[in-house]
C-alpha cells in the first residue's frame, strides 16, 4: 500500500477545540456580540483575577491597614493599567504564533535563555502556589475549619477541575469561582468608608505616607507583585492558544483582558478600603499571620458578616490562583518538552501536563501544613520576589512582541513599546531600590 496516505484521526484535543470554534463562528456569523464575548472571554479575566490571589489580597489588606487609602488607591489603579499593557501583548503573541510563551523563548533565544526563563517561572510559581494554600488555610481558620481539612479540600477542588479534561469546562468553573473575588466589595461597604476621602484619593493622589521607609518600599513592591507577575504572561498566552483564538478574535481578547483588569482592580481597592478600618482604629498588623487574623481583627469594625465575607474572599482568591498557576506551570513544561499541553487532552496524551499540574498543587499543599510557619511574612515576601523576577520576563515579552518574523503585523506599536519599556524600567528601579534598602537599611528611616 505504498504511496497511499493514511488519514490520521484528529486527537481528542483537536476535536474539542473544533467544537468550541464552531460555536464561536456561529455566534459571529449570527451577529450575537454578547454570545461571542461570552465564548471568547476567559484567558484575560482569569489572568487578572487569578493574580488577585491570596498573597495579593493580603498585601492589599496590609497596605490599607498600615497606610490607609490615600497614596495606594491610585497606585493600585496604575498597576492594573500596567498589567493590561503587559497582558495585551500576550494575546497578540498567542494569536499570531499559536505557540506558548515558553516555547517561543526557547525557539527565538536558544536553550540558555529558555532554561533561564523556565527557572524564573518555576521559582515564582512554586513559591506562589504555597501562598495560595496559606490563604485557603488562613481563610478557613476564621470558620474554625482545621488546616488539614481546608488544604485537602482545596487540593481536591483543583484536581477535580483539571480532571474534566475539557478546557471550556475548566475555564467556566474557574470564572464562576473568580466572580467571588468581588466579596471584598460588600466587606468594604460594611467598613462605612469615607466616600469623600476615597474620591479625593482617586482624584488627587496623596503624597507618600510618612516618606520612603523600608515598610513602605516593601508594600509598594508587594502591591506591584500582586498585579504583574511572570506566571500571568505564560498562562494567558498558552490559554489563548488552548482556546484556539484566531486573528478575528483580537478585539474580544483585548476586551476580556480589560474587563478582567477592571474587576480585579475593583476587588483590590475594596480590600484596601475594608482593611483601612484597622488603620483608622490604630490596630497594628505586624503580628498577623494571615487571612484569619485580618478577618478576626476586622470583625469589631465591619461585623461578623463583613469579616466572614473577607475570609471567604481570601479562600476564593487562593483557589482560583491555585487553578491558574498550576496550569501555567503545566503549559510551560509541556511546551518545553514538546509534549501535549492542553486541558482538552486525555490523560494519556497529556501525561506530562497533568502530572506537572497535579504534583505542583500537592507539593505546595504539603509545605503549607508544616507547623508554625510565619504565614503573613511568607505571603508578603513572595509578592516582593515576584516583582524582582518580573523585569527579565517583561524584557523577553517585549522582544518577542517586536519580532516581526513571528508576529508580523501584530507587532508592538511605538506607543506599546514606550509603555512596555517604561514598565520594565519602573519595575527594575523599584527592585534595585528595595535591594539597596535591604543591604543598607540605615540609609532610610524605619
The DSSP string of 224-249 is HHTT--HHHHHHHHHHHHHHT--GGG
Q: How far apart are CA 383 and CA 229, in angstroms?
A: 9
Q: Render pLDDT for 137-151 as a digit per residue (tens, 0 to 9).
A: 888 989 999 999 999
Q: How far apart are CA 44 and CA 254, in angstroms?
A: 8
pLDDT at 289: 61
- pLDDT at 25 > cutoff 90: yes
Residue with C-alpha cell 464562576?
176
- Of the pLDDT bands very low, low, confident and very high (cuts 50, 70, 90), residue 116 is confident
- pLDDT at 132 > cutoff 70: yes
Does the residue 6 lie in any domain?
no
DSSP letters of 383-421? HHHHHHHHHHHHHHHHHHHT-HHHHGGGSPPHHHHHHHH
Q: Render pLDDT for 174-211 as a digit per residue (tens, 0 to 9).
A: 999 999 999 999 999 999 888 888 888 777 777 766 66
- pLDDT at 418 > cutoff 80: yes
Does the residue 414 lie in any domain?
yes
Does the residue 51 lie in any domain?
yes
Predicted TM-score (pTM) of this structure: 0.89
pLDDT at 291: 62
Q: How far apart are CA 32 and CA 50, in angstroms?
A: 28
**How much is the mean pLDDT over the chain?**
86
Q: What's the length of the chain?
A: 446
Print the domain residue range for 269.
33-443
- pLDDT at 285 > cutoff 80: no
Does the residue 16 lie in any domain?
no
Q: Render pLDDT for 59-96 as a digit per residue (tens, 0 to 9).
A: 899 888 888 887 888 889 999 999 999 999 999 999 99
pLDDT cut 90: percent of the chain above it: 48
Which domain CATH number covers 273?
1.20.1740.10
Q: How far apart are CA 331 and CA 337, in angstroms?
A: 10
Does the residue 111 lie in any domain?
yes
- pLDDT at 425 > cutoff 70: yes
Least Cα distance to 386 among 260, 270, 225, 159 occurs for 225
Distances (CA, A) of 254 to 44, 174, 232, 389: 8, 19, 15, 25
| CB atoms closer than 10 angstroms to residue 72 | 27
pLDDT at 200: 80
- Span 343-368, mean pLDDT? 91
Residue with C-alpha cell 504555597?
130
Among the listed ranges 127-131, 220-224, 315-319, 442-446, which one has the minimum average pLDDT value? 442-446
Does the residue 2 lie in any domain?
no
**137 burial level (CB within 10 Å; 0-12, 13-18, 19+):** buried
- pLDDT at 434 > cutoff 70: no
- pLDDT at 40 > cutoff 90: yes
Q: How far apart are CA 34 and CA 28, in angstroms?
A: 10
- Span 334-346, mean pLDDT? 88
Q: How many domains does the chain have?
A: 1
Cβ contacts of residue 53 below 8 Å, gap of 6+? 128, 131, 132, 135, 226, 317, 318, 320, 321, 325
Least Cα distance to 301 among 67, 140, 55, 64 occurs for 64
Does the residue 205 lie in any domain?
yes
DSSP letters of 78-105? HHHHHHHHHHHHHHHHHHHH-S-HHHHH
425 phi and psi, to 5 degrees? -65, -45
Distances (CA, A) of 303 to 186, 190, 270, 295, 311: 12, 8, 16, 10, 12
Does the residue 3 lie in any domain?
no
Say if residues 53 and 135 touch (Cβ distance below 8 Å). yes
The sign of the dihedral angle between the CA atoms of 402, 407, 413, 416 is negative
Amino acid at each position: 500500500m505504498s504511496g497511499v496516505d493514511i488519514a490520521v484521526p484528529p486527537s481528542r484535543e483537536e476535536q474539542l477545540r473544533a467544537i468550541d470554534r464552531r460555536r464561536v463562528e456561529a455566534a459571529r456569523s449570527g451577529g450575537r456580540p454578547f454570545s461571542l464575548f461570552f465564548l471568547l472571554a476567559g484567558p484575560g479575566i482569569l489572568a487578572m483575577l487569578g493574580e488577585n490571589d491570596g498573597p495579593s489580597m493580603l498585601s492589599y489588606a496590609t497596605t490599607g491597614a498600615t497606610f490607609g487609602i490615600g497614596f495606594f488607591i491610585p497606585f493600585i489603579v496604575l498597576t492594573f493599567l500596567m498589567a493590561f499593557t503587559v497582558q495585551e501583548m500576550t494575546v497578540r503573541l498567542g494569536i499570531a504564533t499559536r505557540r506558548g510563551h515558553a516555547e517561543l523563548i526557547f525557539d527565538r533565544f536558544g536553550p540558555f535563555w529558555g532554561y533561564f526563563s523556565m527557572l524564573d517561572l518555576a521559582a515564582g510559581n512554586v513559591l506562589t502556589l504555597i501562598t495560595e494554600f496559606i490563604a485557603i488555610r488562613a481563610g478557613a481558620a476564621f470558620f474554625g475549619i482545621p488546616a488539614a481539612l481546608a488544604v485537602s479540600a482545596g487540593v481536591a477542588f483543583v484536581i477535580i477541575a483539571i480532571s474534566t479534561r475539557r478546557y471550556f469546562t475548566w475555564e467556566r468553573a474557574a470564572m464562576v469561582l473568580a466572580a467571588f473575588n468581588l466579596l471584598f466589595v460588600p466587606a468594604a461597604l460594611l467598613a462605612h468608608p469615607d466616600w469623600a476621602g476615597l474620591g479625593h484619593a482617586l482624584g488627587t493622589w496623596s503624597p507618600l505616607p510618612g516618606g520612603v521607609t523600608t515598610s513602605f518600599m516593601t508594600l509598594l513592591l508587594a502591591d506591584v507583585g500582586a498585579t504583574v507577575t511572570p506566571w500571568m504572561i505564560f498562562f494567558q498566552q498558552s490559554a489563548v492558544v488552548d482556546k484556539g483564538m484566531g486573528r478575528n478574535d483580537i478585539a474580544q481578547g483585548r476586551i476580556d483582558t480589560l474587563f478582567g483588569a477592571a474587576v480585579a482592580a475593583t476587588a483590590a481597592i475594596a480590600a484596601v478600603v475594608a482593611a483601612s478600618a484597622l488603620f483608622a482604629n490604630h490596630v497594628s498588623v505586624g503580628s498577623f499571620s494571615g487571612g484569619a487574623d485580618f478577618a478576626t481583627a476586622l470583625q469589631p469594625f465591619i461585623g461578623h458578616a463583613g469579616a466572614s465575607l473577607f475570609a471567604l474572599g481570601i479562600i476564593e482568591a487562593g483557589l482560583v490562583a491555585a487553578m491558574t498557576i498550576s496550569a501555567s506551570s503545566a503549559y510551560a513544561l509541556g511546551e518545553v518538552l514538546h509534549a501535549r499541553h492542553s486541558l482538552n487532552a486525555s490523560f494519556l496524551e497529556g501525561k506530562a501536563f497533568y502530572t506537572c499540574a497535579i504534583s505542583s498543587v500537592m507539593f505546595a499543599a504539603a509545605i503549607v501544613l508544616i507547623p508554625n510557619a510565619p504565614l503573613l511574612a511568607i505571603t508578603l515576601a513572595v509578592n516582593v520576589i515576584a516583582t524582582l523576577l518580573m523585569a527579565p520576563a517583561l524584557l523577553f515579552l517585549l522582544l518577542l512582541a517586536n519580532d516581526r518574523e513571528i508576529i508580523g503585523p501584530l507587532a508592538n506599536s511605538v506607543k506599546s513599546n514606550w509603555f512596555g519599556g517604561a514598565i520594565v524600567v519602573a519595575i527594575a528601579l523599584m527592585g534595585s531600590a528595595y535591594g539597596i534598602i535591604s543591604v543598607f537599611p540605615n540609609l532610610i528611616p524605619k
